[in-house]
């Protein structure tokens, strides 16, 4: 190969590599507090569950949903460190205080009761005991940070339609990884493997679109009010205009059955409720 041909080939290779890097950068980004977000392209899917799916509920009537706009969603549930950095507080129950075990006095041999307690590092644990109202305020504060304002990034809770679209990651089965509940322990934390506690985000396998803990760990607030689904096809749905409860999705560490961690499973909670099993995941859009 001549030098000129080699030079041309090198430039073509470097150009292709640059294009691939640029494409990858567009698929994921890291924001001003170190939060990783993954781009979700527009698409169409079946929301809800078929009546013969194990655990299917009356409020999960299956219907077609079309999302016409891209959005970014957190690769992980919001961690305690991220929440505290933005909100200047950490309401979480987990990780629980660590109590040092009793020890024997070196001279008398008597047992000495533990006197000192310390809190283990929970920075990578998902924030919990966050109400819907708290979650909305967190998104507002994150959106108001100067670097996010400068880049036109606006944060909010996911709509229920966005959440399930991201969770399914192109799948049509009960879980993003297939229909076998026996595999859930590889992808999420629930009563069978959680030891009745949350766990650091990202310890289990991600779904096909690179999102972690979509099944279990903490349930995640969505924007929508909780009511039964309509049966007709919908475009960019935002749920009913009013209601008494807000939607939580994904199941959590305390779920007694794997079915409650299905992609279609829904829960409704009052917006002011704060539970050890409920946290959040954010969506971000870029306002031009």
Q: Give residue for tokens 């009793």.
A: 102
Q: In angstroms, what CA-CA distances link 221 with 52, 96, 97?
A: 27, 23, 26
Instruction: Report the mean per-residue pLDDT for the chain.
Output: 88
pLDDT in tens, 51-79: 999 999 999 999 999 999 999 999 999 99
CA distance 273 to 130: 8
pLDDT in tens, 178-216: 999 999 999 999 999 999 999 999 999 999 999 999 999
What is the percent of the chain with per-residue pLDDT over 90, rounded to a whole number? 80
CA distance 158 to 250: 13
Establish if 32 belongs to a structural domain: yes
- Domain CATH for 238: 3.90.1580.10
Q: Contact 199/76 with Cβ under 8 angstroms?
A: no
Establish if 107 belongs to a structural domain: no
Token couple for 37: 């977000």
Q: Contact 172/46 with Cβ under 8 angstroms?
A: yes
Q: What 3-state DSSP class applies to 192?
A: coil
- In the chain, the number of structural domains is 1
Alpha helices in the chain (DSSP H): 3-27, 80-87, 132-143, 146-150, 160-168
Q: In angstroms, what CA-CA distances link 274 with 35, 85, 120, 271?
A: 23, 20, 22, 9
For residue 165, the 8-state DSSP code is H
Q: Is 60 exceeded by the pLDDT of residue 153?
A: yes
| Sheet of strand 43-47: strand arrangement | 43-47, 63-67, 234-235
Q: Is 70 exceeded by the pLDDT of residue 141?
A: yes
Establish if 134 belongs to a structural domain: yes
Question: 262 Cβ partners below 8 Å, 6+ apart?
Answer: 49, 53, 55, 174, 175, 215, 251
pLDDT in tens, 220-275: 999 999 999 998 999 999 999 999 999 999 999 999 999 999 999 999 999 999 99
Q: Is 50 exceeded by the pLDDT of residue 41?
A: yes
Q: Contact 111/101 with Cβ under 8 angstroms?
A: no
Cis peptide before 109 (omega within 30 of 0): no
Q: What is the pLDDT of residue 95?
A: 83
Establish if 215 belongs to a structural domain: yes
CA distance 198 to 76: 13
The boundaries of the domain holding residue 268 are 27-98+124-286
- Under the banding of pLDDT at 50, 70 and 90, the label for residue 105 is low
CA distance 147 to 31: 8
Region of poorest pLDDT, from 1-5, 73-77, 96-100, 237-241: 1-5
Q: Give residue for tokens 């990034």.
A: 153
Establish if 104 belongs to a structural domain: no
pLDDT in tens, 47-56: 999 999 999 9
Cα atoms in the Cβ-side hemisphere of radius 13 Å centred on 219:
30
Q: What is the pLDDT of residue 109?
A: 66
Establish if 116 belongs to a structural domain: no
- Nearest by Cα to 163 from 242, 27, 267, 244: 267
């Amino acid at each position: 190969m001549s030098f000129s041909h080699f030079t041309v080939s090198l430039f073509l290779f470097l150009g292709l590599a640059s294009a691939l890097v640029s494409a990858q950068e567009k698929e994921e980004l890291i924001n001003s507090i170190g939060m990783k977000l993954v781009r979700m392209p527009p698409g169409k899917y079946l929301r809800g569950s078929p009546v013969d799916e194990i655990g299917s509920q009356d409020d999960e009537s299956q219907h077609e949903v079309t999302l016409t706009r891209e959005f970014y969603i957190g690769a992980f549930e919001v961690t305690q460190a991220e929440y505290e950095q933005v909100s200047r507080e950490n309401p979480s129950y987990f990780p629980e205080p660590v109590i040092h075990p009793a020890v024997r006095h070196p001279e008398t041999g008597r047992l000495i009761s533990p006197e000192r307690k310390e809190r283990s590092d929970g920075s990578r644990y998902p924030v919990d005991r966050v109400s819907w109202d708290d979650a909305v305020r967190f998104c507002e504060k994150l959106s108001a940070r100067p670097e996010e304002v400068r880049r036109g990034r606006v944060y909010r809770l996911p709509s229920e339609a966005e959440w399930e679209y991201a969770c399914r990651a192109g799948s049509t089965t009960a879980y993003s990884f297939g229909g076998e509940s026996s595999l859930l322990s590889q992808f999420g934390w629930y009563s069978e493997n959680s030891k009745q506690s949350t766990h650091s985000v990202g310890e289990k396998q991600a779904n096909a679109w690179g999102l972690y803990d979509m099944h279990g760990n903490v349930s995640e607030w969505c924007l929508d009010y909780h009511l039964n689904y309509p049966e007709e096809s919908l475009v960019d749905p935002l749920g009913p205009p009013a209601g008494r409860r807000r939607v939580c999705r994904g199941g959590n560490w305390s779920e007694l059955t794997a079915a409650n961690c299905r992609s279609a499973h829904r829960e409704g909670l009052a917006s002011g409720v704060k539970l050890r099993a409920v946290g959040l995941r954010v969506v971000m859009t870029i306002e031009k």
